[in-house]
Amino acid sequence: MAPNVVAFLYYTVQDLYDQHKDPRIAHLPLTGGMWGVALVIIGYLAFVLHFGPKWMEKRQPFKLKFVMQLYNVVQVVANSLLFVYGVYYSLLQPSFSLSCQPVEHDNTTPQMMRLIYASYGYYLLKYLDLFDTVFIVLRKKNSQVSFLHVYHHAGMIFGVYVYMTFLAGSHCTMLGVINLFVHSVMYAYYFASSLGAVKHLLWWKRHITQLQLLQFGFLTLHFLLVIVRNPCQFPVLISFIGFIQNIFMFAMFFDFYYKTYIRKAKAAAETATDSKAQLS
């Protein structure tokens, strides 16, 4: 019974892939099928949640300051360039609609193909992002490997894979463009803090989280647009998934923001008030 169910699911997924795949990107690595992507995600989860911490258990933390500085510089440069490129070939093109951009597998205009290749660069960066967690594990900072952190990285790999394979150049494009900007700022902060400037940039860290909240808020409304009104016939199911996913991410990031910046500030203020009362 079980083998038959597995076989049925396999062939169902394969049929859906064959029917709806985008022929414009079928030749690009990591877009030709989901099994390679699945292996990467499974390997990532296995390493950061089990094998990595177990392997580091009796070892000293790795000193990765220079490696991480180089990594942050690469991230800033790559995300910034792709952000500018993405904005130019999407928002600044009269043929691109911010309110409802259709799925057009037959659109092979030079502008669209450049946007698709920029999107592919963004897709590859999601694999590079996985090293964030690898560095955490190798430095034995396991408390930083939170559910939000791991879910976000693994989920982005799968989500952008779906976009590249079936929805390239469509309404979902804004997710990547905005995320590229956020990551440019975030990795610039990481690089600056690694140089010892963190004391002068604590205010920046809080605003990065606020920027992420704005990102999820905007994308929630962006997907809601084509649920309420859909003149370009964008897949409503995809819009609904994007809408729910961004609400979920907003809620998780807001929970982190509240606990880190609002609740702690209230506790500190109450402590200060109590201290003054005792002194008086």
pLDDT for 4 equals 67
Q: Residues 6 or more apart from 114 whose CB is under 8 A from it? A: 85, 89
Mean pLDDT calculated for residue range 66-72: 95
pLDDT at 100 > cutoff 80: yes
Q: Which residue has the tokens 């390997």?
A: 43
Residues marked active site are found at 152
Q: Residues 6 or more apart from 167 whose CB is under 8 A from it? A: 22, 103, 235, 238
Mean pLDDT calculated for residue range 53-65: 93
Burial category of 127 from C-beta neighbours within 10 Å (exposed 0-12, middle 13-18, buried 19 and up): middle
H helices present in 21-138, as ranges: 34-46, 52-56, 65-89, 110-128, 131-138
In which element (H, E) is residue 151 found?
A: helix 147-166
Residue 235 backbone class (left: φ over 0; alpha: ψ -120 to 50; beta: rest): beta
More confident residue, 148 or 154: 154
pLDDT at 141 > cutoff 60: yes
Tell me the C-alpha distance between 151 and 129, whole Å: 13
For residue 96, the number of C-alpha atoms closer than 13 Å in the C-beta half-sphere is 23
Residue type, 233: Q
State both tokens at 205.
């860290």
Instruction: Tell me the pLDDT tens digit for each residue of 207-260.
Output: 888 999 999 999 999 999 999 999 999 999 999 999 999 999 999 999 988 888
**Cα 203 → chain centroid:** 23
pLDDT band at 124 (very low <50, low <70, confident <90, very high): very high
Coil, helix or strand at residue 2: helix
The set of long-range contacts for 9-14, using a CB threshold of 8 Å and a minimum separation of 24, is none
Helix, strand, coil abundance in the chain, percent, nearest 5: 75, 0, 25
Residue type, 155: G
State both tokens at 88.
């130019």
Tell me the C-alpha distance between 256 and 42, whole Å: 26
State both tokens at 273.
């008030």
CA dist 163 → 51, 67, 150, 160, 215 (Å): 30, 31, 20, 5, 18
Instruction: Return the CA Rg of the chain.
Output: 21
pLDDT for 277 equals 42
Tell me the C-alpha distance between 263 and 266, whole Å: 5
CA dist 174 → 5, 22, 71, 180, 215 (Å): 37, 19, 25, 10, 10
Q: 71-100: b or e for each residue (b if 16 or more CB lie within 10 Å)? A: bbeebbebbbebbebbbebbeeeeebeeeb
